[in-house]
Every structure is written in structure tokens, then in C-alpha cells.
Amino acid sequence: MDVSVIFVNYRTPHLILDCLATIYQYTRQATFEIIVVDNDPERGGKTQVLAQYPEVKWIDLPYNAGFGRANNAGMKAAQGRYFLLLNSDTLLTDDVISRGIRRMDNRPDIAASGALQLYADGTPMPFYKSFNEFRKTFFIVPPSRYLQNALDKAFPEPQYEDPDQYDWLVGAYILVRREAVDQAGGFDEDFFMYGEDVEWSGRLAKVGKLCYFKDCAFIHLENNNPFRRTHISWINRFSTQMQVSNLLWVRKQYGAGAYLFSIASNLLMVPVILIWKMAVNVRKHGDPFAELRTQRIFIKKTGVLLNYFFRTLFNKKHLYKIKESENIDLQIIP
């Protein structure tokens, strides 16, 4: 068996069926099995999927375990030489799976590889190319060339001799060697959603290169989920669950000092964004409280981060899934 294709399902049987159709249509030069790990068996659509693809291995989990834990369960049941972790909201457009396997068979120095993401219309989807590029987005600083230069110096971009090599791979499509998982371990099960692929990449990179192949691509539809960001702005760049997970990753990969620095920067920005916006409101409306919705969202999200402060600081084992009441992105904020 060349590859085990692993899906994490959460109420998306229609998306899995669409993706499976493209896998069976295009994957001609590699043997594969399909594994679906269901985080909500009552509404997962198991019967619907197995009616069309009875050979699919279906694993029901007793609770919504999130992305990392579910993928770990799938990898434990997998028989392939490689594991392909694939989002349900994806479509293949050619035999990208076989091409990736051939490339990695010829490159034993590679632990895992990814493919470039495309929007539904086929245009390239941007992605973070390094840990430091990602980390810089955590800091909400006033627009300033001096401050941006300071961030660039504090978090320089890595330099690799291999043009295909990157710091981390997007979790929507990761083709990884079984041996690399045996050495590095699976996903850290403290993560519920977001950040787990970044943390895992850091460990996988210790046993081999992580590469994107420019001739490998797939369509990522970006299915909606309850933890996606909705109130997007310059200061509200991430959803609440994303922020909790991102800071958990900082703590695990860079230590307590880096985590405290990130938290402190958030707290420092609370009075800065309030005073700045209130001054703008006075000039525009004569009322300092006229337009503060974005600032209220930022303050509420920062409050949620503080709810997880001590657990994150002391790196306590815990499924870092925010509560429904903490999901600011689903709240109506005037």
C-alpha cells in the first residue's frame, strides 16, 4: 500500500464525497486506502459515504476531538508507506498524489511534503512560508516603517539551500512518511484546531526536510466552521480559537519567555487602540465613543486569551478548545 489518505470529518459527508470522486478519478499510479475519522458520528453521514464507497475505513470518535487527535487516530489505523492528511473541503485536479509519492521516493531527505493551495477559480492561495513570517502577524503594532523593520530584524526569514524547503506545511494537505511520524510522533493532542500543523512541522523538520513542490497543487474550498474568523480587521486578524492555538504553539516551540512577550504585546495594545480610535472619533464625530466595535472585539478576544493564560504558561496537558461563550466570532457585538 503506497498511501493512506486520511480525512477528519465533522458534518461534511457531501464534501468528502466530492473529494473522493477526484481521488478515484485522478490517482492512477499509486495504491491507496481511504480512512475517515468522524468527530460527530450522529451527524457525520457515515451511511451516505459508505453507500458509494464501501471500502472506506470509518472510525467513529466518542467526542469532537478536533483536528490533531482525529488525525492521530487515523494514522494509527493506516497501512500505507505514506500518510496523506487531506481536508474534506479539497478537490484534486490531477494525479498530484502519485507525483508527490514519486518525488519523495526519490528524495529520502524529505520527511513530508505539501502542495500549493488554489482557490476554486484556480488562482493561487497565499500561505505563510516560514515560522517567523507567521509570528510577526501576532504583533499588532501601529503602521510604521521603523516598527516593521524592527520586527523584520527580530524575526528574520530563514535561508535554505534547497529551493523547495520551507518551515512548515499547511494542514489541509500533508504527505508524510510513516517513518517520519514514527520518529517525530503524531500531532500534539493539546491542540483542538489551528496551530497543530505548525507545531508538528517543527518536530517533523528535525527528522527531514519539509518541502512544497511547485508542480503539485489542489483546490481548497475553505469550508465554513464555527471557529472561523468573521470580524476581520487590522487588529482582529485571527479568530478566537486561532489566537488561543497560536499562542499555545508559541509557548511549546519557543518557550515561556516568548509566550509572555506575545501576551504582553496584546495587553499593551488595548489602551493604544482605544486611545487612538477615540481620538479619531472626536475629530470625525465629536463623540469619543462613536465607533468602537472593532476595539471591543479585540478587548473581548484578549480576555479569552487570559482565560487560558496559566494553563498555557505552565504548558499543562489540556484540550485547548474554547467554550461556546468564548467564541467572540459568533457573538453580535454593537
Cβ neighbour number for residue 248 with a 10 Å cutoff: 25
Cα-only R_g, the chain:
21
Per-residue pLDDT tens digits for 183-232: 999 999 999 999 999 999 999 999 999 999 999 999 999 766 666 666 77
Banded model confidence at residue 32, pLDDT cuts 50, 70, 90: very high
Q: How far apart are CA 242 and CA 308, in angstroms?
A: 13
Q: pTM of the entire structure?
A: 0.93
The residues pairing with 59 across neighbouring beta strands, listed in sequence order, are 37
pLDDT single digits (tens) 251-271: 999 999 999 999 999 999 999
The H or E element spanning position 4 is strand 3-9
The domains found in the chain, sorted by start residue, are 3-129+166-220 (3.90.550.10), 240-330 (no CATH)
Asked if residue 229 lies in contact with residue 242, where contact means CB atoms within 8 angstroms, the answer is yes
The rounded distance, in Å, linking the Cα atoms of 72 and 105 is 23
Please report, in angstroms and rounded to a whole number, the separation of the first and last CA atoms in the chain. 55
Question: H or E stretch including 295?
Answer: helix 293-307
